[in-house]
Amino acid sequence: MKKLSRSFYEGDTIEVAKRLLGKILVHSHRDSQLMGRIVEVEAYVGAVDKACHCYKNKRTKRTEIMFNPPGYAYVYLIYGMYYCMNVVTGRENEGAAILIRALEPLEGLEQISVNRYGKSLKELNKGQIKNLTNGPGKLCKALDITKENYGDDLMGDKLFILEDGYSSFDIGISKRINIDYAEEARDFEWRFFIKDNPYVSK
């Protein structure tokens, strides 16, 4: 397996979002390595997208990282309790990112279980196992991704994404989820997912 290069995240954010599917998100933290395969993403492009936090290229303290060169982590809090992780994409100063919506857990499952539910893996029922990482807030809790990861360089050794050659899947496309406020942008079909993967959010 090899770490994705900075150049992987450059270019058209919609295309980068599709290429992120099947890659492996890794968080090396507290003497453990937690890993999950990316199975669902959503693209956000500030220049044209009313669902994007930096619509019309608006810079705030929170969104400043979105104008960095590509390949940095944009982590924010929703509902005052759940973190969401995004990957900054496109050109520097463009203001674009990809939300990681769901993972298929691969490594560190015992710690992932404890992080998510406060229980060991063997204590979980089938429903809890399925719900380990099938949503943006869930996967951040499971992999212990927090505001401390805001601005992490994905070229580093703490939070990064790997390529292992996995490509045997079909890509599903749909409108994004929970953005009814975004007027015409709510109809953009910028959600991409691995078809038939049980960890894709519903």
Report percent pLDDT > 90 for the chain: 79
Whether 162 shows a pLDDT value over 90: the answer reads yes
If one looks up domain 2-194 in CATH, what number appears? 3.10.300.10
Report how far residue 188's alpha carbon sits from residue 166's, in angstroms, rounded to the nearest whole number.
27
Q: Which pLDDT does position 102 carry in this prediction?
A: 98
Instruction: Determine the average pLDDT of the residues in 147-157.
Output: 96
* C-beta separation of 119 from 130 below 8 A: no
User: What pLDDT, in 10s, does the model give residues 2-55?
Assistant: 999 999 999 899 999 999 999 999 999 778 899 999 999 999 998 888 888 887
φ/ψ (deg, to 5) at 9: -85, -5
Work out the pLDDT band at 163, boundaries 50, 70, 90: very high
Residue 62 clears pLDDT 90, i.e. is over it:
no
Cα separation of 185 and 170, whole Å? Answer: 25
Which amino acid is it at 149? N
Question: What's the pTM value of the predicted model, to 2 decimals?
Answer: 0.95
Band (pLDDT 50/70/90 cuts) for residue 185 is: confident
| List of E strands, 139-197 | 159-163, 171-174, 191-194
CA angle 148, 101, 42 (to 5 degrees): 110
CA 99, CA 136: separation in Å to the nearest integer?
8
Angle subtended at Cα 96 by Cα 26 and Cα 192, rounded to the nearest 5 degrees:
65
List, for residues 76-120, the tens digit of each pLDDT value.
Answer: 998 888 999 999 999 999 999 999 999 999 999 999 999 999 999
Is there a contact between 172 and 34 (Cβ–Cβ < 8 Å)?
no
* Amino acid 8: pLDDT: 97
Percent of the chain with pLDDT over 70: 100
Cα–Cα distance, 144 to 111 (Å, whole number): 9
Helices (H), 35-190: 109-117, 126-130, 136-142
Q: What is the pLDDT, as a whole number, of residue 16?
A: 97
Mean pLDDT score of the chain, rounded to an integer? 93
Average pLDDT over residues 162-181: 93
> Which residues on adjacent β-strands are paired with residue 102?
40
Domain spans, the chain: 2-194
What letter would DSSP give residue 138? H
